[in-house]
Structure 1
């Protein structure tokens, strides 16, 4: 995962020594990056992915966004990077409530969501069009202040995805879910054409795609009134 997410996060949170949870940690890339910055990190994977073994300052736990097996007020930082929109819309409020429960007073919730635009979105929507899911997620996030999560800052920046080859892209995508693997197979010709059309070949031969995203950063307070 591109370090741009960590660079922005470091502006708002002292990572060394922080107890952090990466929700929807996928292959564990962000977990390992946070640990490299001296945070103590718990990864909560989604779907059938296996992020890897535990390590120094790293552990992986089963669970879901709505039911974290963590004690009340025990966490300094909860992070959702490109994962909040994968929560069913009817469960997104529960996920925010659960984040508030496990965060210490003053603890931080950091969410980054991709916009439905950019060259990577144009490529990915041929396999999994997440336009509506992303819109629902941003709607839910905008109401977090009513749940005792005080908005600190919101802003936009550009994330990039890089692939060595089309087969590298295919490999990463089909491991996410059986549904994506099937859609990839059905639409492979169109996906291959879009990959060639939208991708930017860098000097080292890797292919770059742009994904604009929105960052939301909250502090946990005791009441909704304090969050306003």
Structure 2
């Protein structure tokens, strides 16, 4: 069976979750909150609280306010809100960034702040594909992604969560050139990538093997797990 190509993950989210029935949303590890901003534009009843642990990204977020969107500097492993305040939690490529020894605590915290039968939408990159082979030269996430998946499986097995769906899809990714790849993937603020000259050259060569007349095109394999609080 062919894996579907999805260009806008918000389309997938709305196909899985009735957002009108889940208006109070918390996004853990929100980054620049691109999806949440788009969500608020489409669903005027929704409100989003975005948690971001990276100080620099949080400061940028505060400079770009939006109605019904508040930002808080905090991590998923210590959510500074009372219990049962949210209908839906989003973790978009962020669960594997939680420290390994705090994954169980993070999922317990999300469980705590969700209302009964609240939903947790976890979107994680699968450790495979051509883009992954480029990135792993300087940032190998095989172990942390496996640990994140294992933590989800263990949380479901514990009885705290029910798995509603598991969905696989490919997300198209495009870079105009290596300079854009370097800026977006190596120059991120939440991790300090300091590449020596041989490593940078190896990354450049592997990336440029995918270059075409209009840049480099990749399909990033993704897994979405939708959990319901028991």
Residue equivalent to 2:35: 30
- Offset at 1:207? 2.7
**Structure 1 residue 178: Cα displacement:** 5.0
Equivalence for 1:175: 188
Matched-pair contact (CA < 8 Å) for 1:22–1:30: no
Distance in 1 between residues matched to 2:172 and 2:40, nearest whole Å: 22
CA gap of 1:100–1:185, structure 2 versus 1, over 3 A, is farther
Could you tell me which of 117, 127, 134 is aligned with 2:145?
134
The residue aligned with 2:15 is 11
What CA distance in whole angstroms lies between the structure 1 residues aligned with 2:52 and 2:96?
A: 14
Structure 1 segment 78-227 matched on structure 2, within 5 A:
78-145=89-156, 146=158, 148-173=160-185, 174-177=187-190, 179-180=192-193, 182-183=194-195, 187-199=199-211, 201=212, 205-221=214-230
Q: Which stretch of structure 1 is more off in the superposition, 158-167 or 122-131?
A: 158-167
Query: What is the alpha-carbon distance in structure 2 between the residues aligned to residue 71 and residue 162 of structure 1?
Result: 40
Aligned alpha-carbon RMSD (Å): 2.0
| Count of aligned positions | 216
Residue 3 of structure 2: aligned partner: none
Secondary structure of 2:195's match? helix
Query: Could you list the runs of 5+ residues in structure 1 that have no partner in the other structure?
Result: 222-228
Counterpart contact for 2:174–2:215, Cα < 8 Å: yes
Deviation of 1:76 after TM superposition, in Å, equals: 1.0
